[in-house]
Amino acid sequence: MQHALVLGAGIMGLSAAWGLRRAGWSVTLVEQDTTPNERGASVDDHRLIRHPYGAELGYMRMVDAAHDAWNQLWADLGETLYVPTGLLALADAPGGWLAESRAGLTTGNYPFADIDAATLTAQFPMLSGHGIHAAFRMDHAGVLLARRIVASLARHLAAKGVTFLRARATDADPARATLTLEDGTEKSADLLVIAAGPWMPRFLPGLAGRVTASRQIAVYLEPPPEHRAAWERAPMVLDLATDGGFYAVPPVAGTALKVGDHRFSLSGDAETDSRTPSAEEIEGIMALVRPRLRDAAGYRVIGARACYYDVEPEERFILEPLGDRALVMSGFSGHGFKFGPLLGLAVAGEDRLSRAGWAAGRALPVTEGSQGIG
């Protein structure tokens, strides 16, 4: 039996371990903290899955295959940790992400419905229609319950014989497929998968110029009582303006209403910085959100957290070979979680070393035996 070493137990490392174990590999997963790692980018209440992707048609098309991969994972876990919510996209000016997404959805024959400001406020009374230039709704979108997924997947892998080794790795040798641990011991395998998120440059200094750690703030809100029910049945809201838009995740499955800035700070240190946002960081998020909220003064901040993404300049995923015995998984920013199981299946495929273009959003045609990941 071939053996794989996977460094990092976020959604990418866990998904790689899942794909490899399903393919018959033995797997050791090395993680410096507990699993789920509360410092990791994957461990939060929510992550979103949706087709609108601006001008990135490759990633838009990959979402179908991503849903198929999630369905395989739900079957393995014995539970579905996904809440369908639909999507509401907003824009206060022509062009930009909404217009590009609308064009892509039309090209791909994905159904959506344009709505005007009056209809928007009638259907979503918690939102203000002031300044809305364009909006559309789409039914096929939803919330992945990220923290619960990571925990459930870790339990499943342990039950399937994956070895979890809590240890801090200090060095990786892709050519030899080895990891050196803090106590000086060395672990080796037939395949090394490095999925260390914002800690990646520690192991692969050559990626330091391609992948940047980015401190991101999420704020959790309690709506005013008169809008609570509307938010509970609301879609996700994407207002992705280049000069300061936001996203909002409805309070599903016992979670809180979450809002955040979709833009990247491209600053901070995942190892040393506090995960408690400052008052100024929280206010920066609220300043983006308030103009879209009716009765904005009635919203109460009930929590906030900082996490760190690993960001590639064009937000393209890095799934690249390091020689013929190692792979790096990086650059997943805030939108990679939805593709975790799909990328895990790709790592387990015989063509894993030739998947760089596909993972970067440059779609390849589906081929026989590709398990829907072409």
Find the mean pLDDT for residues 109-117. Answer: 95
What integer pLDDT is reported at residue 263 of this predicted model? Answer: 87
- 3-50+146-211+314-359 and 87-139+212-311: identical CATH topology: no
Q: What pLDDT, on the 0 to 100 scale, is given for residue 207?
A: 85
pLDDT score at 83: 98
Q: How far apart are CA 285 and CA 293, in angstroms?
A: 13
Specify the CATH class of 3-50+146-211+314-359 in words.
alpha beta
Average pLDDT score over residue span 266-292: 92
pLDDT at 303 over 90: yes
Which of 141-145, 160-164, 247-251, 333-337 has the least mean pLDDT?
A: 333-337
Confidence check: pLDDT of 370 > 50: no
Residue 363: what pLDDT? 64
Residue 249, φ and ψ in degrees, nearest 5 = -110, 125
Query: Is 241 a residue whose pLDDT tops 80?
Result: no
Residues 113-140: what's their mean pLDDT? 94
What are the CA-CA distances from residue 93 to residues 13, 96, 287, 329 (Å)? 39, 8, 19, 36
Pairwise CA distance, residues 361 & 315, whole Å: 9
> Taking 90 as the threshold, does the pLDDT of residue 301 lie above it?
yes
Lowest-confidence region among 33-47, 97-111, 254-268, 321-335: 33-47
Of 107-116, 251-260, 361-370, the range with the lowest mean pLDDT is 361-370
Instruction: Give yes or no for a contact between 91 and 241, defined as CB atoms under 8 angstroms apart.
Output: yes
Q: What pLDDT does residue 43 have?
A: 83
Contacts of 281 (CB under 8 A, 6+ apart): 217, 304, 306
36 upstream amide cis, omega within 30 of 0? yes
Q: Look at residue 24 in the predicted model and tell me its pLDDT.
A: 97
pLDDT at position 367 is 38
Model-level pTM? 0.94
Query: In this predicted model, what pLDDT tens digit does every residue of 338-357 receive, in sequence order?
Result: 999 999 999 999 999 999 99
Percent of the chain with pLDDT over 90: 82
Count other Cβ atoms within 10 Å, centred on residue 29.
27
Give the residue among 50, 46, 47, 48 at the shortest CA–CA distance from 112.
50
pLDDT greater than 50 at residue 144: yes
Q: With bands split at pLDDT 50, 70 and 90, how would you rate the model's confidence at 58?
A: very high
- Pair type for strands 26-31 and 3-7: parallel
pLDDT value for 115: 95
Q: Which helix (H) or strand (E) holds 248?
A: strand 246-249
* Model confidence band, residue 366 (pLDDT cutoffs 50, 70, 90): very low
When comparing pLDDT for 137 and 266, which is higher? 137
Report the topology of domain 87-139+212-311.
Answer: D-Amino Acid Oxidase; Chain A, domain 2 (3.30.9)
Q: What is the pLDDT of residue 39?
A: 82
φ, ψ (nearest 5 deg) of residue 344: -65, -40
- What is the residue extent of each domain of the chain? 3-50+146-211+314-359, 87-139+212-311
User: Does pLDDT of 137 surpass 80?
Assistant: yes
Whether 84 has a pLDDT exceeding 80, the answer reads yes
Q: Which of 76, 81, 83, 78 is nearest to 50 (CA)?
A: 83
